[in-house]
Structure formats: C-alpha cells, structure tokens
Amino acid sequence: MIDATQSMLFFMRWRRPRRLIEIGRIINEFNRGSNDRDQSGFGGRILRGALPDTKLGMLSEIGSKSVMGCLSRGIGSGMNSGLGIEGQLDMSKGFIGARQTTIRREIILTGTGVHSGSPVSIVLHPADADTGIRFLITKGDEIKADIAADVHAVSNVTLCTVLSDANGASVATVEHLLAALRGLCVDNVHIEIDSGEVPIMDGSSAAFVEAIDEVGIRELSRPRKYIKVLKPIRIDEGDCWGELAPHSGFHLDVEIDFDTPLIGRQRMAVEMSPGIFRSEISRARTFGFMRDVEQLWAAGLALGASLENSIALGDERIINPEGLRFKDEFVRHKTLDAVGDLALAGAPLLASFKSVRGGHRLNSLVVKALLADKEAWSVVHAPSTRDTIVHAESDLSFGVAAAANFAADRG
C-alpha cells in the first residue's frame, strides 16, 4: 500500500516545487493573479488549485467552474456535461449528491499546530472513488505513514482527536478538517502533511471550507456509500452521554453545559446539509479558559494557541476583542467537532446523533460501539443512474438529502 501510494504521490508532486513561495509564484502566473490571495484572517496561507492536470490527467475542467461547487453555492445551472474521464459525467441525470466525490484540484494550506506550536503545511489531493480520506505523513519526498481517517486509528482524544498507525506515527487535531470534508460531502481525498498536526487556521473549519469551495467538488462515477444505523447505540459516562439512532438523513442534537455564565447551557439541533454546515457551523471557533493555560503548557498542549485561533475565556469576560461570531458559538463548535469525529465512521451516516456534555472521547466511543455491533448498522448505496427518480439541478443540499433518503429506504 505504501509503495503504491508513494508512486502516486511522486506523480502528483511532478513539477511541483518544494518551496511554498515558488509554488505561489507559479500559481499566480498560471491564474494571472485571479484568485489566489493571503487569507490572513484564517490564520494561515491558502494556495488554491496549485497546478492543473497534476493527478493522472483527472483534473480537466467541466465548464468554467466545478459543477458541484456551483451547486453548493447556489449558482445554479449553465453547466457543461462531459464524458469519458471519471468525474466528467452528465450531472443533469440522476441525483445530485448520489455519487462519490473528490476535490477538483490540489489545495495547499499552511499554518500552525495549536498544540505543538510548530509550522505545518498540508496538501489536499484529489482521490479516486472508494479511497476514503487518508493522511499521508511525509518527510521530504518520502511517505512515512498512510493513516486512514478511521475510528479504529484513534489513539488519543485529549483536547483533540489524534490518529495513529501501528508503528506510532500520528496526526493530531484532525477534526476540523474532517468536519469540512464531511460537511461539504467530500468522500475521497489524500491529505499530505509534513508535521504531526493539522494546522489550526482560525480555530474553525472556515479556511478549509473556503479552500474547497474555491477549487470545487468533482463527482466520481461510483455511488455514494452510507452507513445506515438500524438501532439505537448509546454510551453513558456519568452525566455525559451520546447516542446514535436510526434516521433517514444526518441529524445532530448537541447540548453542552459549562459552569460559567459566559457559556452556561447551550443546545443546537440541526438537519445537516452542506449549506447548513457552511453557514451555521463552519465558522464556530475552538475555545479554552485562561485559567487552564499554564497547566496546558506544562503538559505540552496549546503551545500554538492565540487569540487569532481560539476563543479565550477569562473569569468574567471573553478576552478576544472582536467577541463572538455567534451568541451560541460554543455549542456550534462542539457540533462542528461532532461532525468531524463522526466522519471517522468511514462513510456518511444515516443517523441522528444526540450528545449531552460530550466531546471527542464520547464521540469516538459512540462510533466504535456502533461499528462493533454488526446488527446495529448496514452499508447502503445511493441510487445508480437507472434508479433515478428525482432531478435537483440547482440545490446540492436537496440532492444529497434525496439520495440519502433513497438509500435509507432501499436499505
């Protein structure tokens, strides 16, 4: 697996300079200064669409924009159809959202690890159907580890979600990036990373969403797989609990309760869709208490935390001068974390998820308990072309929901 992936990564790197400053120069020359810009508000550098046609010739244009990207932003029709190369399908036929997806072009992001404090760069590469989401930990041109975004790879849940392999290689703080990918219905991607932690950016998923929206999403030829929950699965830990139950879509009900008037009790219940994730959840930032800072630093945690990537709570006030993005930003971020952690099931869930006073640990335990009970779930598929029963040309969210409902009914 590693040898094959190394060969693929070498091909993807062909003609791609190692230094990001040189990458930026080439991108700007290619785009003639059109779209690439410093996203300093996201706490890192985003270089979108690094080079055309770098992955096995599968990055051809479909019209002037990504069809899926256009639909996800509500731009509507006016799209060209293509044939022959995987991903260039006539999307006016069948469900929008019924097939697996990947990103249309390479995405490069740089930033800082919130816990390590170290600089880190990641490169998101398009991937074939049934690849899933995989982290490729690299050193120079060599892949040191290939770790699937899978709950069985979870090795630590202290303040973030950490994935590891059998040899001890690990990647931390994966939840915000996974939330963006799952929230926007991206099924397959290789994530090349040169450090042990995904960059925190501004503490939310906004930078990842912005980058994915900019390059667009490409539909592949195979139907999307879902994990359909067949019976309730619940985990209790004291006064905290989490439960997955049968549902025809993906519903989240997250409740938190902190012993401070700055947060208190907050609840968010939402039927998930790309539009809802983008507008209501993706911008919610991580948070922490100033009273815990010295203890965290002593434990080697939060070394990269700042007011640019976290909400800091004092005893009586929010320290960030700009305040909150939402009145209930805290529970929105916990919902974001849940979307990312539940993505570790390995496929989109047809389920409702309820969490009370939960976090990364509880989220992980619920997913593990589900997958351990073979009678609690099954794999179902969205309709193939011959199963077409609805046409949703201009609303990706509707199409994803329709495909999910169809799969749920057929399961």
Query: Count of CB atoms within 10 A of residue 297's CB?
Result: 13
Rounded distance between C-alpha atoms, residue 294 and residue 156, angstroms: 21
The strand pair at 217-223 and 99-103 is best described as antiparallel
Cβ–Cβ under 8 Å, residues 353 and 251: yes
H helices of 206-328, where?
Answer: 206-215, 274-276, 293-298
DSSP string, 125-181: EE--TT--EEEEEEETTEEEEEEES-GGGEEE-SSS-EEE-TTS-EEB--HHHHHHH
Rounded distance between C-alpha atoms, residue 81 and residue 97, angstroms: 16
C-alpha torsion sign, points 224, 230, 232, 237: negative
Closest alpha carbon to 342 in 363, 357, 362: 363
Instruction: Judge whether 360 counts as a catalytic residue.
Output: yes
CA 55, chain centre distance (Å): 21
Cα–Cα–Cα angle for 36, 281, 132, nearest 5°? 70
Q: What is the DSSP letter of 54?
A: -
Q: What is the DSSP letter of 286?
A: P
Cβ–Cβ under 8 Å, residues 126 and 57: no
Cα dihedral 399→400→403→406 (10° resolution): -110
Which listed residue (125, 176, 360, 381) is catalytic?
360
The strand pair at 119-126 and 107-112 is best described as antiparallel
Q: What is the DSSP letter of 220?
A: E
Rounded distance between C-alpha atoms, residue 328 and residue 144, angstroms: 40
Question: What size, in residues, is the chain?
Answer: 411
Rounded distance between C-alpha atoms, residue 38 and residue 339, angstroms: 27
Could you give the residue numbers annotated as active site? 360
